Each structure stands twice: as C-alpha cells, then as structure tokens.
Amino acid sequence: MRSADLRQRLLRAAEQEIANCGPAKASLRAIARRVGVSHQATAHHFDDRAGLFTALAVEGFDLLLERTRAAIASANEGVADGGPDAGRPVAAAGAAYVEFALRHPTMFDVMFRPELLHADDKRLLAAREEHRAVLLANIAAAQERGWGVGVPTEELAVIGWATVHGLAVLERDSQLDGLLSEAEMPRVLERVARTLEALA
C-alpha cells in the first residue's frame, strides 16, 4: 500500500470511527483496525490521535472553502450594485456552509472541536484564517454593492456565521424536523441575509 493511500484510508477510517462511537472514544487503535494495519503504522503519518483529527479538520476546511468559493462565484453572476440581490452571495455562502455540515457531519464536528486538535498546527491556523478571510471578503463585496452598509464588516461576519452555524448544527442534529425541511433552507438563508441587511 502506498504511503499516500494509507494516509487517505486512515482519514476515512477516522471519519467512520468517529461517526460510530463519537470523537471522544475514537482511538488510533480502532482506526488502524478499520484499515487493517497495526497501531504503529499510523505513526508514519500522524504523531497521535490529535494529529490525525487535525489533518481531518484541515481537509474539512479546504473542502468547505472550495464549496463556498464556488457558491459565491455562482451567486455573483448577474448581481447588480444596489439591486435587491446584492446580498445573494452572502446567502449562497451560508447555504454552502449548511450543505457541507449535512454532507460531512463528522468532519464538520471535528473542525470546531479545538480540544480534539493541535490548535497551534500551522496548516489548521492557515485554513481557519483563509475561511474567515473569504467570509469577510464576501460580505465586504456585498457592502460595496449596497448591502448592509450600516454595520461594520466584521460584525456582520460574526452575526452571519453564528446564525448559519447554529442552523447547520440544528439541521444536522434533526432539531428542525417538523419546523423546516432541507429544501426550505435556501429560502431561510435568503431571509437571514435580508435580516442582517436590516440591521443597518
């Protein structure tokens, strides 16, 4: 088995093990067993369990960034300055965030559990910073088109992120059953964007 292949298989096995028993109980030994290698074999790629989880979190941020950028680019097509759709890219980024959380719940959970990770890992810090930079740039661009101009960019980013993260967790944990369907989520996020604009 090639080294790169083993690393990917360990990451996927970690997702499965976390999904099966939760992150607190997911051990390196159990993850190695899923791949069919010895516990010592994991040391060639990860120093410890936190190192494996950190790599999984970095992978998650990279994937989230890819999906977010694609959603923003698509939403920006045809958006006019001062028009009613000026906040559409903000809602699109929120929709991409929720969709990611639903499609990759285990990865999403690990990404935001600092006690499970090497919080000072340079790759993780860079990935988190890049994610925040994309959020800020998207909101700043919408403000340049006339959306939410009365609130500082950083405040809108925090309020928007907190709202969308909360929706993602509630939807992932099936707490919105009977209240909101997955198909209705894009419409709700459009309303979130309009609500944020009204704060101005």
- Residues 35 and 13 sit within 8 Å (Cβ to Cβ): yes
pTM above 0.85, yes or no: yes
Structure tokens at 142: 């919408």
Residue 200 pLDDT more than 60?
Answer: no
pLDDT band for position 195 (cuts 50, 70, 90):
confident
47-198: which CATH topology? Tetracycline Repressor; domain 2 (1.10.357)
pLDDT exceeds cutoff 60 at 108 = yes
pLDDT number for residue 110: 95
pLDDT digits (tens, 9 = 90+) for 75-107: 998 777 767 788 889 989 998 999 999 899 999
SS3 for 194? helix
The CATH number, out of the four listed (1.10.10, 1.10.8, 3.30.465, 1.10.20), of the domain defined by the range 1-46? 1.10.10
| Domain ranges (residues) in the chain | 1-46, 47-198
